[in-house]
Amino acid sequence: METPQQIRDRIVGAVAGLQVECLPNGAPAGVPSLLVGRSCFREVAIFLRDDPQLRLDYCSNVTGVDWPERTEKFKVRRQVGEVEKDVEESRVIPGCLEVVYHLYSMSLKHGPLVIRVRTGDRSADVSVPSLTPVWRACELQEREVFDLFGVHFDGHPDLRRILMWDGFVDHPMRRDYVEPDDYDYEPTPHDHVLDRALARAKPGEAGCGSGAR
Amino acid sequence: MFQAIDQIFVNLLRGFLGHLPEPIRPWAGLVISLGAILGTFGLLFGLTTVCERKAIARMQNRLGPNRVGPYGFLQFIADGIKSLTKEDIVPRSADKVVHFIAPLALLVPVVLTYLVLPFGRNMVVLDLDAGLLFYFAAGASTELAVFMAGWSSRNKYSLLGAMRAIAQMLSYELPFILSTIGVVMVTGSLSTVRIVEAQGPGDGWLAHWNVFTPWGFAAFFLFLIAAFAEANRSPFDLPEGESEIVAGYFLEYSGFKFALFFMAEYLGMFSSSALAVTLFLGGWTAPVSFLGFVPSWLWFFLKLGVLMALFIWVRGTTPRLRMDQLMDFAWKFMLPLALFLIPVVVLWDRVGRGWVGWVLCGPIVAAAYVWLGRALVGRRRIQLRTYRYASG
Amino acid sequence: MLGSGIIKGLAETGRNFVGSYFDPERMTTVEYPEQRLAPKENTRQFPFLVFDGEAALAGLRCVACQICEKECPPQCIYIEKSREKKPDHLGKPQFHPAIFDIDISVCMSCQICVEVCPFDAIKMDTEFELSTSDRFGGLLMHKDLLARPNSHFLKVHPTDAGVIDARRAEERARLEAKARLDSEAKAKEAPPAA
Amino acid sequence: MMVTQRSSDEWDRPAPVAGSYAFVVGDDPEDPGSLLEVSMGPQHPSTHGVFRMDVVLDGETVVKLKPVFGYLHRNHEKIAENISYLGSMPYTDRLDYFCSLTNNWAYALAVEKLAGISVPERAEYLRVILSELTRLQNHVCLAGFLAQDMGASGTPLMYGFREREKILDLFESLTGARMMCNYMRFGGCRCDTPPGWLDEARAVVDSFPRFLHEFENLLSSNEILMSRTQGIGVLGKDLAVGAGITGPCLRAAGVDYDIRKVDGYGIYPRFQFRVPLGEHGDTYDRYMMRILEMHESLGILKQALDGIPEGPIIDPKAKLRGFRPKAGESYGRIEAPKGELGFYLISDGSPSPYRYRVRPPSLVNLTVLEDLCVGHNVADTVIILGSIDIVLGEVDR
Amino acid sequence: MSPMIYFLSGVTLASAVAAMTLRNPVHCALALVVTFTGLAGIYLGLGAQFLGLAQVVVYVGAVAILLLFVLLVTRSGEAGDGDRERDRVAERSWWGWLIALLVGAVLAVGAWSAGQLPQRAAPPELPGVRDIGEALMTDFAMPLQVVGLLLTAAMIGGAIIALREDRMRVAAEREGRR
């Protein structure tokens, strides 16, 4: 298989104006990944699937990564007064949510190619195009990313919570998620059962109401 | 001497009834016989559950129950006490009256079937002319009880189970009844006592059991398979298929009512096995005349035990069929074969019931079996497969 | 022919039925409370603290370094260091645990505490019958419950314990030799000074 | 069929398009009361754990099926992101609790890729032996459970468990635990084999074919099993590839894709084995794939047990404590008995992973459950689910 | 024997009344089953073995089950619908009264005239199952065959109708899916 850089060049060469960027990977055996812009994400995915040299017909892994807003400190050599010295400056890197796809080819037996896409921020602009129409394999995994990270997939046929219950509010895999100190008061899908039970046991009668006394 | 042992129960009853005033004798006889039947088969039910658990455990290389009593054989008493003391839960939305009546409605007809079964020489409660018809009439009413149980529980699984059970029982009733027609035709009587007597050794030394005829052999297995289905036993245990509909029609029953269902199932199994013994295995007759000294009731229970072992063995082996396959099997295999056996019986009767009959009827029955079996399996293209391996 | 597969299956279960009475290899079941399988040497259930000598709490090898507390994946260990130090088997002054609790209801028997312990102080026991009538307090093991003599360790994991004992004996011997050499050297040095 | 949607506007983060859903049955004006909704699970005997299928039935035919997950969710990934790399190893045991050793291997592989650690020869051999033993015991149990779902009153399951017991005994004497083995470490394995272990393993491997033969006698040619499974739940090739189905289910559909061959991870390229392929993609093929794979696994085991060299068991450079790989990311995947098990790790140079992700084969294989089940009976859904082979510890994580 | 007959008649009549008045259709059907069984008991008590047993096989074993199936398959809702239905039926109840009156009149006339008829000597022995069977196979062989053929034809016809509906539905579903 071609290297990710070559693939990137080929995509950009085929259609001008696509935002595809090759990200390095620091691990010794790691392969670089392609960061694709949101606007052309599905087109790129379809290209990767249908290109006769690549035929990446199998999407193995879909997952989210949370990048909270962070301040990066770095040193710059600056002219301070008369002397040139290292000055510590900081830069705010805006937070985003990232979705990573690992693609393989079952027919040509090669891979992986890692493609990733990022949302605009972590609160308002959290939608990315869904790849479920391209690879059905993404269906449940994208639901999971939606559930645990809060990434919204446009074009997903059945975007619901998958692991947490429907009434759950937060997204537990985000790095700033704070778990509640008392799970008993989490809303559950069985709340109405509890309500009914409480309503039945009127105060004064025997039952849950008078149990405390 | 042998005669005395053979007739010991009959004489005991007669002697006891002799002390009673004349008008209530028949009723007292009925009550005592029923009590004896319930006691005997109740005990047999308990022992069978233990034996079944132990035998299946051994088939699965386990030990089975071995804690209560010698070799665990008193386990059923512990189970009985447990189910008696358990809480009887009735679902709130259930139809309480019907829910209550259903287990009784299931048990009563099953017990009634025992009235016409001859357990030994002169050991039959009601020697009806239409004994076989009585048996089927009583057996037919169990479906209603199953429906009542499933419907009144207000549980979807129960309802599904009841529907399955009724469909299955109705379908298998046909081969169940049709497979006995040959016996009735050959014997010329619907009375179970006549049927057994006709199968005895008579003047010769070898018994004329119906199973030792080509048609009787086939009919015996048809009857047995239908009996499996009627008793909801594996591989026809769909109504209670625990992996699909959890427990089927008695899902919402607990405690003693559940035990009644359980008991009715086993009593039904005994009674259909007993009928199989009566119709095909010569009832209480000995296979050869020189074994006639063994008490007749012992022969009967021995044969019953063999059939029960078969029930248990099959249960330990087979997976369960699916509903449509079950229906296919009843309507496309068993019913045609049972119908086909009727002319064969006529042929057997006409050519003189000897080796000529065997030569003529044997191949016909075998051919029908093979052909129907192939038609049943072939349409669905069910076969063993060979597999290829990836190159390289 | 229809039915041949089922008959084959019946033959198989029949053979197993008969075989279960004659072939011990078929019966893997053990009647537990009366019969017991001997635990394998590597078997691990829940951790215990090894102590040397006779007194349980005085001879604990644990020096309260809290590595296991930090590494324990379900975080079921709780340690508090003692204020004062006391000498260990090499005579070096060390802390010891004032409190050492393991919540058995949380512990998942992963043996990571054993692997990370640099002092061979915590080991896995093969005891598994730990049921109590108290779900909360009864399953929280304090150090007096956790402490087991080295002889117990030798009994449940003889190979492992043998290696460790040999190593500790060697360390001690080396130290004693060194001390002897030192004292001899001192003794040698001393007279001229005197 | 109508699906109602409940809007949920109490979300401070963007609200999802579809909220909770519920089937409303019997609202079809043309056919009143003809449909029956049954919620199979989470406490159903044959959903293999706390799994739920909301099934809409027409008679007993499945019209619609929705899997509902999450009853066993414990956010394994979040736990792993808060403890050290080593600390996650025992947690991986609990993913697919039937196959803890393959889970260990997949995680160790991902970390080894992330940090560039090599594995000594003997450890590689041991890993192969253990993972093939795991495959054997997973597949015998699967076949037993499948027969159990068909109502075989436990006999095949007990035969399977009898053999599994021998393999678990091997695991116990090597790793100390029967199921939660926690045996592999980054750069090798935790401890060397106790004396005589390899001979015991050889004995188990040698006696295994006898069991397989027994099992096949009992089931593979049984007419009831064949008629229950053949032509049921047919999975097409294209759907299988597109939906990311892996493992025996994929190969039953006729796709030649075995990660042991494709990636050649560990030392698998050294062993001779074949990859069985199905033709119909139905439940019977899926069942037979497992049986045939067991034969191949036995072949691998024989070769590995004969070829295992002496030597160190773990890379001496691999650190147990204070393990901090450099920033980067890696994806390690292996052919677990249930399919492709992958671990995706992002390191930021700290002692715990920045992102830790498990790619669970069981969950992804469930994507096609509805496609396989619609049009079949309730009884078939149960065996289709059984033939997909899920473990809820891995589905819900 | 006669107290038994009175008892059975009482049960039969009571359950027949229950079958008409109970509100839950399934209960009605179950009450009807009791009526059938009571009737069978009366037959048996009168010594008509075959008739009594055939009554149980046919009515309890088949007709009642059929009724229950029909009830379950056709009924859409629970009591809510049924009440409205009952009101509608109640408006036209005079039809029922009329028919009941007519039937009662015919029965009364029959019973009265039966008393008027000269008493015939009872047959020496009640016909047993064997006699019925012989009669069916000799004197009434032809009618039996005709009835059998008719019923077979009806059964096949029913099966075909059910089959066609099923096929049509399958075809419609396929269309819909496309």
Closest by Cα among D209, D289, D199 to D248: D289
Q: Which two tokens stand for residue B171?
A: 């379908």
What single-letter amino acid sits at B148? M
| Predicted confidence (pLDDT) at residue D1 exceeds the cutoff of 50 | no
Task: Give pLDDT, residue E106.
Answer: 92
Count Cβ atoms within 10 A of the Cβ of residue A79 and give its class: 0-12 exposed, 13-18 middle, 19 or more buried: exposed
Q: How far is CA B285 from the centre of its chain?
A: 19
Please tell me the least confidently modeled range out of B189-203, C160-174, D34-48.
D34-48
- State both tokens at C173: 């011997």
The neighbours of chain E, by the rule of 3 or more Cβ pairs under 8 Å, are: B, D
Judged by CB atoms closer than 8 Å, whether chains meet at B58 and C20 is answered as yes
Return d(Cα B193, Cα B204) in angstroms, integer: 20
CB contact under 8 A, D359 and A146: no
pLDDT band for position D4 (cuts 50, 70, 90): very low
- Give residue-wise pLDDT tens across range D351-389: 889 999 999 998 899 888 888 888 888 888 888 888 888
- Selection from C150, C84, C95, C96 nearest residue C120 by Cα: C150
Give A-chain residues touching D245 at CB under 8 angstroms: 137
| Contact D26/E at CB under 8 A | yes
pLDDT-above-90 percentage for chain D:
11
Q: How confident is the model at residue A2 (pLDDT cuts 50, 70, 90)?
A: confident
D18–A158 CB contact, under 8 Å: yes
Confidence band of E175 (pLDDT split at 50, 70, 90) = low
**Mean pLDDT of all residues in B176-189:** 86
A30 touches chain D (CB under 8 A): yes
Å from C57 to nearest chain D CA?
A: 28
From the list B156, B383, B385, the residue facing D288 with the nearest CB is B385
Task: Please choose, from the candidates C118, C135, C107, the residue with its C-alpha nearest in 3D space to the C-alpha of residue C48.
Answer: C107
How much of chain A exceeds pLDDT 70, in percent? 84
The C-alpha R_g of chain E, in whole angstroms, comes to 22
Q: Which of B129, B140, B148 sits opposite E61 (nearest CB)?
A: B140
Domain boundaries, chain E: 1-77, 127-178
Nearest by CB to residue B318, choosing from C1, C6, C16, is C6
Q: Which residue has the tokens 């229970």?
A: B301
Quick check: D155 pLDDT over 80? yes
Per the structure block, which two tokens stand in for B16?
């006891």
Q: What is the CATH number that goes with domain E1-77?
A: 1.20.120.1200
Residues of E within 8 A of B133 (CB-CB) are: 49-50, 53-54, 57, 129
The reported pTM is 0.82
Answer whether residue B349 shows pLDDT above 90.
no
Nearest to B141 among E27, E60, E129 (CB): E60
**Among residues of chain B, what percentage have pLDDT more than 90?**
1
Residues 6+ apart with CB under 8 A from D124: D266, D267
Residue A110 predicted with pLDDT over 60? yes
Res. E147: pLDDT tops 90: yes
pLDDT over threshold 80, residue C106: yes
What mean pLDDT value characterizes chain C?
83
- What is the three-state SS of chain B? CHHHHHCHHHHHHHHHHHCCCHHHHHHHHHHHHHHHHHHHHHHHHHHHHHHHHHHHHHHCCCCCCCCCCHHHCCHHHHHHHHHHHCCCCCCCCCCHHHHHHHHHHHHHHHHHHHHHCCCECCECCCCCCCHHHHHHHHHHCHHHHHHHHHHHCCCHHHHHHHHHHHHHHHHHHHHHHHHHHHHHHHHCCCCHHHHHHHCCCCCCCECCCHHHCHHHHHHHHHHHHHHHHHCCCCCCCHHHCCCCCCCHHHCCCCHHHHHHHHHHHHHHHHHHHHHHHHHHCCCCCCCEHHHCCCCHHHHHHHHHHHHHHHHHHHHCCCCCCCHHHHHHHHHHHHHHHHHHHHHHHHHHHHHCCCHHHHHHHHHHHHHHHHHHHHHHHHHCCCCCCCCEECCC
Residues on chain B touching D377 (C-beta within 8 angstroms): 322-324
H-run or E-run covering D265: none
Q: What are the start-end ranges of the H helices in chain C?
A: 4-22, 67-71, 112-116, 143-146, 150-156, 158-193
Would you place residue D17 in the very low, low, confident or very high pLDDT band (cuts 50, 70, 90)? very low
pLDDT of residue B32: 86
Element housing D235 (H / E): none
CB contact under 8 A, B61 and C29: yes
Give me the amino acid identity at A71. T
C-alpha pair distances (Å), B319 with each of B232, C4, D219:
13, 15, 9
